[in-house]
Structure formats: structure tokens, C-alpha cells
Structure 1
Amino acid sequence: MNRQVRKGWRPLVVLLFLFIAWEGMVKLAEVPDWLLPPPTKIMTEAIIGWGEFYPDLLSTIMLALLGLLIGSGIGLLTAILLHLLPVVRESVYPLLILSQNVPIIVLAPLLIIWFGFGLLPKLIVITLVCFFPITVAAMDGFRQTSPELKQYMMMAGASTKQLFWKLEFPFALPSLFSGLKISATYSVMGAVISEWLGAKSGIGVYMTFASSSFRTDRVFVAILAIMMVSLLFFGVIVLVERYLVRWQKKGVDHL
């Protein structure tokens, strides 16, 4: 634990050095605040404008969390379906890969035209950026199941359902959580992009108003908030992973 704490200070020291260098160069070069504000001004704005920014932050967190849950569920169900039905996998999987080549920023306006400015198009945007990493990671995890254990359970008379839930799914947990970590960061990005295209509140709306009024300090506050929320989602998934993967390893040892 102490070793992990010592290692954790290293990126903080590098980050502090970058902030000091940023502050010094901006002051020495006399860069206008509207062009590139120093970190001290950004922190001051974050503190002073917290009351105004908090509702937008909360709105984005709730939207990203809901989209992540929906995208994760759809991604996992898709992976299970493609894994258990090889014919469907061979027919659909290439199309899933092609779907990721469509830029979300281009697709989002079409979703607004089709579904309006409500919650649905925003959730669709977040779902589209979240489900694919989970689907790919889960399918890779299913394929990494120990063939020796699989053969042993089949010889013991295990059904396809038992084989999946008692062996293949536990083996896929580490890969599944890897996909969840990626999707967690994508969910915040997707929420902000969807808010740019039409919303009444959220970090995306806050950034739009700040950019149009040349409040660059507020833009940086929004960027820092996006980073912090992404790290928060990532950290929660890491904690859940440590518990479940530890359980998975113990379960495998007892097979």
C-alpha cells in the first residue's frame, strides 16, 4: 500500500511542475487571459463560479451515467448473443466494426432530426460510443476461457448454460472490465458532445456559452471537470473490478 502511495505522487509532481511552467510562461509572455489564462485564474474561476457551474456538472454526470449503464447492458448482451450464436457473429460482427467508422459528431444531428431535442438522442449518442468497447472486450474474454477447464466441465455433463455462467463468463470478467474502463471515459465525452447539439444544461452547454463570450477560463474549468468525472468513473470501476476479479480467481481455484 505504501509503495502504491509513493508511486501515486509521481504524476502529481509532474502535473504540479507543468502548472508552474504554464503559469510562469503565461506571465512572462504577457499572454491575454482570453487567449490562455494562467492556472491560478482557472482555479479562481472554478471556486467563484462553482454555484453556477454545479447544476451543469450534475446534469452531465447523470446523463453520462445513464448512458453508460444502457450502453454497457447493450454491449454485454450483444457480446453474449454473438458468442453463443456463431452464425449471428459471422453475419453481424463485421457490421459492428463498420458502424464505428461513422463519426458521432456527424451522426448526432441526424438523431436530433429524427428524435428531437429530448433525452433519447443524447442517450443514443452515449450508447453508440459505449457499447462497442464492451462488446469486443467481452467477446475476447469469452474466447480466453481455459480449454482444459471447459473440457473437464463438458465431461462432467455440464449444459451449455452452466458452461457459460460458471466458466466462460467468470473468465471474461477481466476483459469485460477493461472494456468498461474505456466506455466510462467515452460516456463523459459522448454526453458533452450530445449537449453541444442541443440541451438546456450540462457541461457542453456551459462550454458553448463560455466559448461564445471568450471566457477561456471557464472553458478550462469545464475541461478539468470532464477529466475529473472521467477519472471518477474509472476509479469506481477499478474498485468494483478488484472485488469481482478477486472473487473470480478464487472461484476458478476451487473448480
Structure 2
Amino acid sequence: MTAPANQRATAKWWPAALLVVVLVGLWELVSGLVDVPEYLFPAPSAIVRAGVDNAELLASASWVTTEELLLGLLLAVVVALLIAVALHFSVLLRRTVLPLLIASQTVPVVVLAPILAIAFGYGILPKLVVVALICFFPLAVGTLDGLRSVDPDLPRLMRTLDASRWAIFRRVEFPSALPQLFSGLRLAVTYAAIGAVFGEWSGSTDGLGFVMLQATPQLRTALVFAAIVVLTAETVALFLFVRLLEKIILRWNRR
């Protein structure tokens, strides 16, 4: 990354970083002045101590949750791409399946998570399904919209060159849909952590959600906040990775 690029990145992110620092400082100050019990609302310093004291536990749990996030997200991407492409190629499927997909989003995943735990046990499978269910819709809709929004002149040009339907899809439609696919992926990444935690709350023996579930009745609120911080850091890191991947793959897209 060149120096001007570094300067642009710094100018882009420093206001948000400064705001976080100010808010954390105010939080620490108010906690000290008001003297709120730690089990009700711990100060940032108490959260840091809880994180350091339970570093091994949080590291082990975060590895489990990260595995659920990545595999569930991968499952959602594969299924969403297959369904979006099928809907794009078939008008009949689009008219029959798409309304059902939209209606399925009215069912709260938090209600389905316990049912999945009963059906598939306390292993990793129900967590992957929950993450995939939450991430699937923005990926499928974004990809389908991208495929449907291609400039109609481009497929016409390809047909004049005697291109097959598959060639038009591979060379024109799918590349044109990639920006919206990545937009859906960025949105799905932020939802994936919610799905993993829901799955672990419904039935699990490990993971950050399980740590929160066990620490709450023990009034170890600082540990709950420490697990939330680790989960947030994981999600932000995954989001930045997706952004980097998007910039590498979509160098031609300067929007």
C-alpha cells in the first residue's frame, strides 16, 4: 500500500477510532464516579482484567465460534449462489420459489435454533444451519439482483457473436453480479456472529455463546462483556477480510 493510500485509510478510519476511545474513556470515568457494582455493569478495566484472567478459555471458545462462522458462511454462499443462479435461469422458479424465500424470512431464526438442536444434537451441524439460514437471504437476493441488472446490450452483443447461454452467463452476467454479491456477503458477515451465538445458546458445550450463557447466572458480567468484545473483534476482522478480497477480485470495479 502506497503512502497516499495509507493516508486515505487513516483519514477514513480515525474518526470512528477516536469516537470509540472517547466513549470507552467516558464509560470508565462514569463507572468510577457512580460506583456501579461490577456484576451489574463492569467498567472497561474490569472487562480487560476478565479477558486476561480467562484468556485461555476465551481463546478456545473463540476458535469454536470462528469455525462455526466460517463454515456456516461458506454453506450459505454455496446454497445462495446455486439458488440465485437457478432463479435467474428459470422464470417459473423465480415466480414460485422467490415468494417462498421472502416469506421464510418472517420466521425468527431464534425460534428455529432450539428445534435444530433437538433434531441434530449439540454438535456443530445445527450451528452451521442457523448461521447459513441467517446469512443466506442477503446473499441470494443480492446475487439475483446483480444477475438481473446486467446491461441488456451486453448479452445482445454476445449473442451476435454466437455465444452460448452459458458463455453469456460466465463472461457477462456473473462478473457483473459480483459487486452486489460482495455487498450481500459483507452484510451476511455481520449476521453470521448472531447466528453462531443463537445456535450456541440453544444447545452447545463450547463457544463464545456458551461462555456467555454460563457466565450470566454466575454474575460474571465482566466475562460476558469480554466474550462480546472477542466476538466483535472476530466479526470486524472477517468483514475487513471480505473487503480486502473484494478489492483484489474486483479491481475493475471503481464505484
Same fold flag (TM > 0.5): yes
Query: What TM-score do the two structures reach when normalised by structure 2?
Result: 0.94
C-alpha deviation, 1:30, in angstroms: 1.1
RMSD of aligned alpha carbons: 1.3
1:161-240 alignment runs, 5 A limit: 161-240=166-245
Q: Confirm whether residue 5 of structure 1 aligns to residue 10 of structure 2.
A: yes
One-letter amino acid matched to 2:118: I
Per-residue displacement from partner, 1:165-188 (whole Å, max 9, x unpaired)?
100000000000001111112112
Over the matched positions of the two proteins, sequence identity in percent amounts to: 39
One-letter amino acid matched to 2:87: L
Per-residue displacement from partner, 1:22-46 (whole Å, max 9, x unpaired)?
1111111111111111111111211
Alignment match of 1:97 (pick from 92, 97, 102): 102
- Tell me how many residue pairs correspond in the alignment: 249
Aligned to 2:137: 132
Aligned to 2:158: 153
Aligned to 2:37: 32
One-letter amino acid matched to 2:142: A
Query: What TM-score do the two structures reach when normalised by structure 1?
Result: 0.94
SS in 2 for 1:212: coil
Alignment match of 1:75 (pick from 55, 72, 80): 80
In 2: Cα distance, 1:114 partner to 1:58 partner:
24
One-letter amino acid matched to 1:76: L
In 2: Cα distance, 1:241 partner to 1:95 partner:
30
In 2: Cα distance, 1:104 partner to 1:132 partner:
12
Return 237-246 or 113-122, whichever deviates more. Answer: 113-122
In 2: Cα distance, 1:170 partner to 1:190 partner:
29
Per-residue displacement from partner, 1:72-118 (whole Å, max 9, x unpaired)?
11011110010011111100000000111100111111112222222
Per-residue displacement from partner, 1:142-183 (whole Å, max 9, x unpaired)?
112112222111111111000001000000000000011111
One-letter amino acid matched to 1:220: F
One-letter amino acid matched to 2:91: P
C-alpha deviation, 1:249, in angstroms: 4.5
In 1: Cα distance, 2:39 partner to 2:14 partner:
32
C-alpha deviation, 1:119, in angstroms: 2.3
C-alpha deviation, 1:69, in angstroms: 0.4
Residue ranges of structure 1 left out of the alignment (5+ in a row):
251-255
